């Protein structure tokens, strides 16, 4: 890297974000600022809107932003409007989403998929049809990353997520994170479906890739990471600078690492009691979902 260390990291800034899916509002005004080098934990009961936030940041076409802004703010104050970008433009701007349920692409080798992805993300101005990253260079980098992450070497030859176990899918997501080195990463339950050892490995891998948990946090390579999780273990090597609690489509409380620890121990009863409006919204959303299911929607 020939860049100077950046003491004023870029920020991912979300303001007043409202998001609806098929006409139903899921996010009801989310404010969140993530700086590079920072780790944020996003917690909350199922259905509170955590994954929706991830999809909305990445630009999933089914998630309609009805109000609010998502911007990338550079150290010099330049702002880039993420909402005006296609999903692939967002990826090339340095945003990454590790999917809770990654999609299989049968017949496409993970290495070929990644070579396309890496080429585009590193050359945001690349036009379609222009040369991909040289095979030799790509392979040696991939090999190095895989060995760093203790991933089996035949993994890259397998088809993207095709027939992968839950654990393998999550490892493939982490490998992609490592290769793409985004500025901002949203990790949506990258620990779900993993056993304790696998979560520990994932936690270490993320810490290593993100340059977190140490002095590197202020370096130019450091990522801003939003970790969506129900478990404490993933945070073991990625101690959050901030913890946010989502309930009924809003972030109702933020705190430090101690908040994550409290929620793990005690659950969301205190939160629901302290924020009755959000708890009511949560119940309404649950009811609406149940009614839709009952109606066969």
Shortest separation between residue 151's beta carbon and other proteins, angstroms? 17
Give the nearest distance from C-beta 86 to other proteins in angstroms: 7
Nearer to other proteins, 86 or 287 (CB): 86
Interface of this chain with other proteins, residues 58 to 77, rule: CB under 8 A: 58-61
Longest alpha-carbon distance in the chain: 59
Q: Note whether 248 and 234 are within 8 A (CB).
A: no
Instruction: List binders of other proteins among 133-192 (CB under 8 A).
Output: 159-160, 176, 180
Out of 19, 26, 32, 117, name the contact with other proteins by CB under 8 A. Answer: 117
Nearer to other proteins, 11 or 120 (CB): 120
120 contacts other proteins (rule: CB under 8 A): yes
Cβ proximity to other proteins: between 74 and 108 the closer is 108
Give least dist CB 90 to other proteins, A. Answer: 8
**Cα–Cα distance, 268 to 272 (Å, whole number):** 6
Q: Choose between 50 and 242: whose C-beta lies nearer to other proteins.
A: 50
Which residue in this structure is represented by tokens 């908040």? 259
32 within 8 A of 40, measured Cβ to Cβ: yes
Q: Residues 97 to 116: which contact other proteins by CB under 8 A?
A: 97, 99, 102-108, 112-114, 116
When asked if residue 87 is in the footprint of other proteins (CB under 8 A), the reply is yes
Q: Beta strands of the chain (E only): which ranges?
A: 11-21, 24-35, 39-43, 63-73, 79-81, 95-98, 105-109, 159-160, 184-188, 224-228, 242-247, 250-255
Smallest separation (angstroms) from other proteins to the CB of 128: 6
For 283, left (φ over 0), alpha (ψ -120 to 50), or beta? alpha
Least Å distance between CB 180 and other proteins? 7
Q: How is 73-107 classified by DSSP, letter by letter?
A: E-TTS-EEEGGGS-HHHHHHTTEEEE-SSPPPEEE
Evaluated on CA atoms 172, 105, 111, 180, the torsion sign reads negative
Return d(Cα 79, Cα 81) in angstroms, integer: 6
Sites of contact with other proteins (CB under 8 A): 58-61, 86-88, 90-92, 96-97, 99, 102-108, 112-114, 116-118, 120-121, 128, 159-160, 176, 180
């Amino acid at each position: 890297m020939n860049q100077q260390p950046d003491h004023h990291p870029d920020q991912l800034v979300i303001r007043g974000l409202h998001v609806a899916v098929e006409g139903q509002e899921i996010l009801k005004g989310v404010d969140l600022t993530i700086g590079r080098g920072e780790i944020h934990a996003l917690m909350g009961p199922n259905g509170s809107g955590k994954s929706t936030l991830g999809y909305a940041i990445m630009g999933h076409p089914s998630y309609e932003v009805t109000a609010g802004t998502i911007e990338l703010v550079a150290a010099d104050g330049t702002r880039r409007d993420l909402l005006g970008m296609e999903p692939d433009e967002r990826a090339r701007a340095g945003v990454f989403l590790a999917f809770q349920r990654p999609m299989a692409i049968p017949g496409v080798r993970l290495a070929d998929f990644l070579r396309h992805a890496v080429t585009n993300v590193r050359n945001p101005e690349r036009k379609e049809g222009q040369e991909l990253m040289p095979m030799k260079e790509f392979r040696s980098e991939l090999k190095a990353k895989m060995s760093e992450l203790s991933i089996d070497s035949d993994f890259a030859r397998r088809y993207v997520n095709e027939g992968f176990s839950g654990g393998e899918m999550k490892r493939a997501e982490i490998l992609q994170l490592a290769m793409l080195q985004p500025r901002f990463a949203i990790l949506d339950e990258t620990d779900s479906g993993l056993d304790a050892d696998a979560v520990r490995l994932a936690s270490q891998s993320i810490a290593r890739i993100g340059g977190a948990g140490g002095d590197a946090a202020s370096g130019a390579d450091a990522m801003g990471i939003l970790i969506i999780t129900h478990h404490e273990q993933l945070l073991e090597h990625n101690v959050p600078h901030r913890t946010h609690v989502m309930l009924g489509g809003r972030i109702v409380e933020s705190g430090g690492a101690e908040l994550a620890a409290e929620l793990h121990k005690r659950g969301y009863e205190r939160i629901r009691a302290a924020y009755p409006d959000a708890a009511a919204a949560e119940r309404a959303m649950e009811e609406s979902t149940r009614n839709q299911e009952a109606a066969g929607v």
